[in-house]
Amino acid sequence: MKLQFWGATDDVTGSMTFVHLQSGIIMIDCGLTQGTQKSEMLNHLELPVQPKDIKAVIITHAHLDHSGYLPRLVKKGFRGAIYCTPSTAQLMRIILLDSAKLTEEDFYGQEDVQATLKLVRTKEWHQSFDELEALITLMPAGHILGASSIKIKTLDKTIVFSGDLGRFEDPILPEHPICPAADIVVMESTYGGKNRTGNLEKELHSFLATIARESRVGIIASFAVARAQMLLTLISEFYERHPEEKVHVYIDSPMMGEANRVYRDYSHLTRHPDSVFSALEKFDLIEYRRERESLSRKEGPLIIISASGMLTGGRIQSHLYNWHDDEKAILFLPGYQGVGTPGRDFIQGNRQLIGPDEEPFTWQGEVWTSEQFSSHADQNDLIRWVGAENKNAQIYLLHGEINSKLALKSELQNLGFKSITIPSRGEVIDHKNIN
Ligand SMILES: [Zn+2]
């Protein structure tokens, strides 16, 4: 068995790894590289294997950096099976159809997405299945709805891919199991060098209370899938406990509305199904342009949740434009803002954006940020996940900036883990000769 590393070796996007078995190739995740223009050029590189030679792809979760290259793979000749959980399949459909609108037509289009969706074969967690003489099992990974770790058992080796791991104390997803005993573990390391210190709910509550008590306008920039559903659930729980602080909340993102529906359909997979279900049908989705226009004349207190999460586009821009000269308005940016995005610029004090008629404007309101809203495991969570049973396993660290990987590596070494490798793009490791 050979492992061939490709994506997410140098940063946190574009996840792709190839497992070469005697009878063919299985691909783990098929993500787009996102971020700066330079990193997005990587999406145009030729893959190290022919798409038609890949027998199956297993998708850990729906995020674009894990699934967004699939239509391109299909366009280039892949015809095998795509395995994932049922809820991942639903979220992936929303994400890929949206992505086809944003990518250039020659990269992939709606018809490539449709062809991709036809290849999807859903598998429940713990329902093992055979592919290429290997026994494959998906297991819960926290992170977002449907997210999985993958276990592949061949005749002589057990290999586990973590996928993106969630925090063990996620506000809406239940605690996921730790990594089973394995010969090889390929794990993410996004927060390999960090432990969380703040309190997510407290930070959100102080925002909600300020909007209500001071009759202000609050705009929350959120990713449409996963982040938004967590925020809405927490907001709804807060209002139930503090009805006196309740203000009108508007959702302005069609994709958010669709993702809410999937979370409602699969609310049994969340920590508190009833509260997730009721939260996600409670708030008003803005569906028509005139609703958006009439909203622009309203006074606070009110809250708008819109995408994109890093201000790179989407309807949030028109709301920021509407209230840009209201010094009391608050823009809340929960979570990490990528390098080179307007969200990162806003945090650093450059608050210029382009308005609906292409005119530049400056946001004069406040900007509140929080690092607490990540759906990723922190260092303690990662160490707890890999577990005490895998100290002799060959461990590979992916999906993290180099400092995070180095920090996690040294922490694992201190704990007695024997073999930890940070692979590079294109590196092939033959596991016949080691272990
Ligand atoms: Zn993810």
Q: What is 234-247 written as a DSSP string?
A: HHHHHHHH-GGG--
Task: Output the CA 202–ligand 1 centroid distance in Å.
Answer: 24
Pick the CATH number of 2-194+375-430 from 3.60.15.10, 3.40.630.30, 3.30.420.40, 3.40.50.920: 3.60.15.10
Q: For residue 435, what pLDDT is reported?
A: 43
pTM, entire model: 0.93
- Residue 150: name the closest of 169, 118, 123, 117 by CA: 123
Q: What letter represents residue 423's amino acid?
A: P
Name the band, by pLDDT with cuts 50, 70 and 90, for residue 248.
Answer: very high
pLDDT at 337 > cutoff 90: no
Class of domain 200-370: alpha beta
In whole angstroms, give the CA distance from residue 39 to residue 34.
Answer: 7
Q: For residue 338, what pLDDT is reported?
A: 78
Q: Are 16 and 27 in contact (CB under 8 A)?
A: yes
Task: Output the CA 34–ligand 1 centroid distance in Å.
Answer: 12
Task: Output the CA 147–ligand 1 centroid distance in Å.
Answer: 8
pLDDT at 89 > cutoff 60: yes
Task: Output the CA 137–ligand 1 centroid distance in Å.
Answer: 19
Which of 51-60, 103-112, 253-262, 315-324 is least confident?
103-112
The fraction of the chain above a pLDDT of 90, given in percent, is 78
Q: Which residues pair with 4 in a beta bridge?
A: 18, 428
Q: For residue 14, what pLDDT is reported?
A: 87
- Residue 108: name the closest of 57, 73, 64, 65 by CA: 73
pLDDT, tens digit (0-9, with 9 covering 90-100), for 365-390: 999 998 788 889 999 999 999 998 99
Residues around the ion ligand 1 (C-beta < 5 A): 63, 164
Task: Output the CA 123–ligand 1 centroid distance in Å.
Answer: 19
Task: Output the CA 29–ligand 1 centroid distance in Å.
Answer: 11
Which of 71-75, 182-186, 215-219, 397-401 is least confident?
397-401
- Strands 394-398, 217-221: pairing kind: unpaired
- Residue 394: name the closest of 358, 423, 425 by CA: 423
Q: What are phi and psi of 13, to 5 degrees?
A: -130, 175
Q: For residue 415, what pLDDT is reported?
A: 96
Task: Output the CA 124–ligand 1 centroid distance in Å.
Answer: 19
The fraction of the chain above a pLDDT of 70, given in percent, is 99
Structure tokens that stand for 179 in this block: 């990594």
pLDDT at 287 > cutoff 80: no
Q: Give me the residue spans of the domains in the chain.
A: 2-194+375-430, 200-370
Task: Output the CA 143–ligand 1 centroid distance in Å.
Answer: 7
Name the band, by pLDDT with cuts 50, 70 and 90, for residue 11.
Answer: confident
Q: Which residues pair with 82 in a beta bridge?
A: 57, 120
- Residue 223: name the closest of 85, 316, 161, 107 by CA: 316
Structure tokens that stand for 152 in this block: 């592949």
